[in-house]
């Protein structure tokens, strides 16, 4: 199962045994069952076999700086260790601004780091100490791993929502427009706010108005020219023009 087929991943056993902090989140992401993890061997896994991790730096330090380190110092050393290797890697992104680390002992840093519910991880491929190409972004929220959507996916979702909104607006506006040959288009925007029952009543009213218009046109058509008013004559001429246009359009579509 690949990452495109899986929306999220969590392992309650790991969380219960090791907890989740900035010291353990990369190990959690490299869980063998995590479908988001690359199938290729990563630099993180190579370093793990050499017992090089953020936790190790916090406990032992380095040859140049032996002894306990702060979490920030340990993360910097781990980032340097990754920069010396090429290939696929996972970087732990900086914490949110509100997260702060205190003390030098590992225990005090662990307690403070676990107050965060959100961790960001960047999947990269490194070709040199400063040459990297991002392959993806992941985040861990409350112990659940998610893949961050791509820009294309975000744009597609935004366009889809926009189109759906325009379609809904068009559907509502279509119920507000009424056309009569004599008067042209008229708009009743309150009609779009009606409930289903009110819409049914509106449909009945519109149908009755159409029926009255048809009866009125039949009466007008049966009158002789001298018996019609100027307004009635104009309405008949408008109807004849519309019928001519519609007939022409129908013939062109054949």
What pLDDT was estimated at residue 95?
A: 80
pTM of the model: 0.56
What pLDDT was estimated at residue 63?
A: 80
What pLDDT was estimated at residue 80?
A: 93
What pLDDT was estimated at residue 220?
A: 47
H or E element at residue 218:
helix 196-222
Contact 57, 90 (CB under 8 A): no
What's the token pair of residue 51?
């017992």
Domain 3-148 top-level CATH class: alpha beta
**Pairwise CA distance, residues 165 & 149, whole Å:** 22
Nearest C-alpha neighbor of 104 from the set 78, 76, 67:
67
**Pairwise CA distance, residues 229 & 239, whole Å:** 16
* Domain spans of the chain, in order of start: 3-148, 156-253
Contact 138, 146 (CB under 8 A): yes
What's the token pair of residue 135?
């392959």
3-class DSSP state of 126: strand
At 162-183, the pLDDT tens digits run 888 887 777 776 667 676 777 7
What pLDDT was estimated at residue 5?
A: 46
**Pairwise CA distance, residues 38 & 45, whole Å:** 11
What pLDDT was estimated at residue 167?
A: 79
What pLDDT was estimated at residue 184?
A: 72
- Angle of helix 71-83 relative to helix 106-113, nearest 10 degrees, comes to 90
**pLDDT per residue of the chain (254 residues) written in tens, 0 to 9:** 444 545 899 999 999 999 999 999 999 999 999 999 999 999 999 999 999 999 899 888 888 888 788 888 999 999 999 999 999 999 999 886 655 454 444 444 443 444 578 999 999 999 998 899 999 999 999 999 999 887 777 788 788 888 888 877 777 766 676 767 777 767 676 655 554 445 555 565 566 655 555 555 544 455 555 666 666 666 667 667 666 766 666 665 55
């Amino acid at each position: 199962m690949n990452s495109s087929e899986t929306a999220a991943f969590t392992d309650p056993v790991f969380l219960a045994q090791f907890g989740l902090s900035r010291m353990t989140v990369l190990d959690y992401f490299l869980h063998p069952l995590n479908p988001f993890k690359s199938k290729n061997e990563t630099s993180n896994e190579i370093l793990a076999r050499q017992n090089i991790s953020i936790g190790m730096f916090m406990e032992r330090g380095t040859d140049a700086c032996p002894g306990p380190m702060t979490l920030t110092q340990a993360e910097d050393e781990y980032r340097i260790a990754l920069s010396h290797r090429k290939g696929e890697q996972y970087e732990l992104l900086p914490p949110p601004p509100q997260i702060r680390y205190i003390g030098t002992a590992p225990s005090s840093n662990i307690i403070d780091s676990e107050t965060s519910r959100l961790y960001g991880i960047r999947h990269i491929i490194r070709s040199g100490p400063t040459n990297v190409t991002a392959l993806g972004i992941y985040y861990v929220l409350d112990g659940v791993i998610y893949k961050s959507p791509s820009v294309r996916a975000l744009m597609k979702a935004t366009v889809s929502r926009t189109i759906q909104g325009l379609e809904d607006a068009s559907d509502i506006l279509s119920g507000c427009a009424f056309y009569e040959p004599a008067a042209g288009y008229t708009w009743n925007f309150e009609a779009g706010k009606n409930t289903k029952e009110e819409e049914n009543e509106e449909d009945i009213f519109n149908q009755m108005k159409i029926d009255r218009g048809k009866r009125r046109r039949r009466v007008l058509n049966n009158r002789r020219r001298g018996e019609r008013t100027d307004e009635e004559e104009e309405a008949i001429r408008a109807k004849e023009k519309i019928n001519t246009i519609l007939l022409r359009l129908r013939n062109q579509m054949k």
